[in-house]
Homo-oligomer: A and B are copies of this chain.
Amino acid sequence: MRLSPQKILDVENSFRRQSIMQTFEAELAEIAPGRVVIDAPIVAGARQQHGFGHAGLTFALGDSAAGYSALTMMVEGAEVLTAEMKINLLAPARGQRLRAVGEVVRAGRRLVIVRATVSAIEDGKTTEIALLQGTMIPV
């Protein structure tokens, strides 16, 4: 299966309109059927009290990667919303960059079950820092 050029444009255009992704200097690194990867530096303005990335940053990247992975499975012009999301934090968001990989587990007509992992890259070393599991709904 390959994504249509229109579907890729749908994802890119929606992503560009998410101002929080610009605030976090996040970029789409991969758009594939049922899988989207987002990269972002840990910007100075998205930290918690010890200087690591805030859980809100980790969540936002994981949630967006998961949501756009769901969007790749929808008909053109459709949209998805997060209904619910669970995040387990495995380690601090320490390093220079984060990478969020979102994947579709089950694309139903009414609910799309998604997962995401978020990893931190510190001096070239990658550590998985968060697991997300949740539900997107087509709208």
Which A residues are closer than 8 A to B by beta carbons?
14-15, 17-20, 22-23, 44-50, 54-57, 59-61, 63-64, 79, 81-92, 105-106, 110-111, 113, 115, 128, 131, 133-135, 137
Q: Looking at the assembled complex, report how far the CB atom of A63 sits from the nearest CB atom of chain B, in whole angstroms.
A: 5
| B56 in contact with A20 (CB, 8 Å) | yes
CB distance from A43 to the nearest CB of B (A): 8
Main secondary structure of the interface of A (DSSP, over half): mixed
Q: How far is A115 from B45 in the complex, measured between Cα atoms in Å?
A: 26
A115 to chain B: which residues have CB within 8 Å? 131
Q: How far is the CA of A111 from the CA of B49 in the complex (A)?
A: 20
A60 near B49 (CB under 8 angstroms)? no
Taking the full assembly, how many copies of this chain does it contain?
A: 4
Q: How far is the CA of A7 from the CA of B77 in the complex (A)?
A: 39
B46 touches A23 (CB 8 A): yes
Q: Are A45 and B57 in contact (CB under 8 A)?
A: no
Give the residues in chain B near A81, CB-CB below 8 Å: 89, 92
Option from B17, B20, B86 in Cβ contact (under 8 Å) with A84: B86
Once the chains bind, are A46 and B63 in contact (CB under 8 Å)?
no
Residue from B18, B85, B106, B135 in contact with A49 in the complex, judged by beta carbons closer than 8 Å: B18
Shortest Cβ distance from residue A62 to the other chain B in the assembled complex, whole angstroms: 9
**Are A57 and B55 in touch, CB under 8 angstroms?**
no
